[in-house]
A and B are shown apart, each in its own frame.
Chain A
Amino acid sequence: MIELEGLTKRYGEKVAVNNLSFTVRPGIITGFLGPNGAGKSTTMRMVLGLDRPTAGDVRIDGKHYDQLKDPLTYIGALLEAKAWHGGRSAYNHLLCLAQSNGIPSRRVHEVLDTVGLTAVAKKKTKGFSLGMGQRLGIAAALLGDPRILMFDEPVNGLDPEGIHWIRNLMKTLASQGRTVFVSSHLMSEMALTADHLVVIGQGRLLADTSMADFIAENSRSYVRIRTPQRERLLDMLHGEGITVVEPGAEVLEVDGDKAEAVGELAARHQVVLHELSPQRASLEEAFMQLTAESVEYHAHDGQPAGPVPQQQQQQQQQQQWGSDWRKG
């Protein structure tokens, strides 16, 4: 169990993590979601005692990380890809970690086997691909057979087979009663794996809820309708007291699960329908709405910037200077 209490980290003026409080419970996978730069990695580094919190507290089973006498058997972490010396072999890398925690060296062979790196165990890690690097990082996390596992963006750089593997691995680990805390910026990935969801944006807690509740609350269902007799259908729907959204010239949308009602109504009045389909807004959209205000790095929609007339360009630059300064 990981408990965060008012955890805060400031880098000079910038607040990376702002008064975070939540609990990561054993036996389930807790997804830690947020856009890039939301403070996910900083939070995880503070859990591991790598970064000192400016304020607040984080405890693992009631203890600070540096009070753990055998940290690797308590908590295993995959923090970032390739946090090791490229000149050392995978085996020696894991061996020196095992030795520092008094873990028997046969365990090194076991975890290499688990992640499928036995064949390259004696090879220098310098030549490893991103996916192999992730696997070695996961091997290091599993080394102490810990009761808590923390993965920072574990599917980064993995191929579909690898992604499938890590999903199953996390589910198995959680089903054994371990605490699994996994960060991601992909809602779709979390929807497939996580049981509980913690969402942050710009260092602040935005949601701390079960995955099922999040889906129920946030995935809007609606009916999509296309018809050549648009005006007639609109009148009928208004007459029935059904609110209609008109997102495009061709399309109408009706909130809720009203496909049958709309279909029957149209049949009764002999209105031709070209499409009548129940839809669900994706969780991805719900997540983007939730974090819309707290996205650190906005890309501009539409055309990639082309050359702009001189004067306009200057104006734009000045504007950006000012706004960036305030944001920063």
Chain B
Amino acid sequence: MSTPQPPMPQAAPDWQAAPGSPYPTYTSPIPVVRTHLGHAIASEWTKIKSVRSTMWTLGVFVLLVLGLGLLTGAVVASSDTVVDGESPLALGFFGLLLGSICLITLGVLTTASEYGTGMVRTTMTACPSRGRVLAAKAIVFFLVAFVVTLVSATLVGLMHVTMLEGSGAGEPTGSEWLKGTVGVSLYVALLGMLSLAIGSIIRHSAGAITIMIGALLAPLVIALFMFSESLRDVQQALFEYSIPNQMSVFYANSLSDSGPSGWDPLWIMLGVTAVAFAGAFALLEKRDV
């Protein structure tokens, strides 16, 4: 294999007439590759693992999920109140709720930070297909977020089941395990994907993170202070469709009996994320970088 000549001053001139061109033009010894999505994914994988913010957000996420899980598990195990028939998996909810803020941050940073640093111009020059860049980012981020959440949720679930053995708590069924690990992990990873799309639309890290944390917490907080009788329906809807309540559905301890149930929250989040991505793709094509 011939090594490509680095363009050093002493390199010999390499004139070569390209067929059909009136001018002599340079031909590189580097093999020409038709790029595809796989190249973009490899590139995004290098990007996401080579910045410290990824390690920080994911590290804090795991710490929150496992730490808060351990804490709630210890408190419940030592109290005398019998948790009759409740699934011990439900205790994992608090850690995951707070932890989702980390994934929101990481999701936003994956897209928006490139606009803050100017990296986006380099990225789009290397890969002029803008849609491909966004798709690659989404795929890489989703896999990372899903795997990390799944591992954390499974660990914390096993921990709770062990801690609460013999305290009257029920043994989780297979379907409860599925919803409490895979289900909720898909939901949280999608929440991160939504943040990634919002980051691409807003192009400003702090702004996009604020919007996403607002979307996470505001409906619940607003509903909490809706005392007026005539607003009862609105309050109810805000409660039921707030992200924390949707997450709790995966542990079958929803705030209300109506509203989303079963796997509904996943389909809702999937729909919202799809709409956000459609917007992000359209805007990306239309706007200047």
Q: Which residues of A contact B (CB under 8 A)?
A: 1, 25-27, 45, 48-52, 61, 65-66, 68-73, 77, 79-80, 82-89, 92, 95-97, 99-104, 107, 110-111, 113-114, 140, 142, 144-147, 168-169, 171-173, 175-179
**Contact, CB under 8 Å: B23 / A85:** no
B35 touches A97 (CB 8 A): no
Of the listed stretches B26-34, B64-72, B85-93, B237-245, chain A binds: B26-34
By a CB distance below 8 angstroms, the chain B residues around A144 are 28, 30
Residue B117 at the chain A interface, CB threshold 8 Å: yes
CB distance from A10 to the nearest CB of B (A): 12
User: Which one of A82, A97, A102, A144 has the greatest number of beta carbons of chain B within 10 Å?
Assistant: A102
Given known contacts A79-B121, A177-B25, A100 and B8 CB-to-CB distance under 8 angstroms: no
Tell me if B122 is interfacial: C-beta within 8 Å of chain A: yes
**Complex contacts, B51 vs chain A, CB 8 Å:** 85, 87-88
Given A66-B129, A145-B29, A175-B13: A84 in contact with B35 (beta carbons within 8 A)? no
A99 in contact with B43 (CB, 8 Å): yes
Contacts of A85 in B (CB 8 A): 47, 51, 113-114, 117, 119
Task: Look across to chain A and name the residue whose beta carbon is closest to the beta carbon of B49.
Answer: A92
Q: Is B288 an interface residue (CB 8 A)?
A: yes
Tell me what chain B mostly uses at the interface: helix, strand, loop, or mixed.
loop
- Which residue of chain A has the shortest Cβ distance to B289 in the bound complex? A50
Q: Is A176 within 8 A of B7, CB to CB? A: yes
Given pairs A70-B33, A114-B8, A176-B14, 15 additional interface contacts (CB within 8 A): A27-B23, A27-B24, A45-B289, A48-B124, A50-B288, A51-B289, A80-B118, A95-B50, A99-B43, A100-B35, A100-B42, A142-B6, A145-B7, A176-B13, A177-B26
Bound together, the chains give a CA A95 to CA B122 distance in angstroms of 13
Given contacts A51-B289, A85-B119, A114-B6, contact A79 B125 (CB under 8 A): yes
16 inter-chain pairs at a CB distance below 8 angstroms, sorted by A residue, are A1-B23, A26-B25, A50-B288, A51-B289, A69-B35, A80-B121, A83-B121, A84-B117, A85-B113, A96-B47, A100-B43, A100-B123, A111-B6, A145-B29, A176-B26, A177-B26
Pick from B16, B30, B127: contact of A107, CB below 8 A. Answer: B30
Q: Which residues of A contact B166 (CB under 8 A)?
A: none
Are A50 and B26 touching (Cβ within 8 A)?
Answer: no
Q: Are B6 and A102 in contact (CB-based, < 8 A)?
A: no
**Interface of A: prevailing SS:** loop
Distance between A139 CB and nearest chain B CB, rounded to angstroms: 10
Q: Which of A68, A79, A107 contacts B128 (CB 8 A)?
A: A68
Select B124's contact among A50, A86, A140, beta carbons within 8 Å: A50
Decide: B23 and A178 in contact? CB cutoff 8 A.
no
Residues in chain B near residue A168, CB distance under 8 A: 9
B126 within 8 Å of A by Cβ? Answer: yes
Complex CA distance for A79 and B39, rounded to whole angstroms: 23
Closest Cβ–Cβ distance, residue B78 to chain A (whole Å): 43
Q: Which of A48, A173, A177 contacts B125 (CB 8 A)?
A: A48
Residues of B within 8 A of A146 (CB): 28
Would B28 and A147 count as touching, CB distance under 8 A? yes
Q: Which residues of B contact A26 (CB under 8 A)?
A: 23-26
Provide the residues of chain B in CB contact with A86, threshold 8 Å.
117
Within 8 Å CB of B123, what residues of A?
100
B4 contacts A140, CB within 8 Å?
A: no
Interface residues of B in 84-122 (CB under 8 A from A): 113-114, 117-119, 121-122
Contacts of B33 in A (CB 8 A): 70, 73, 101-103
B227 within 8 A of A: no
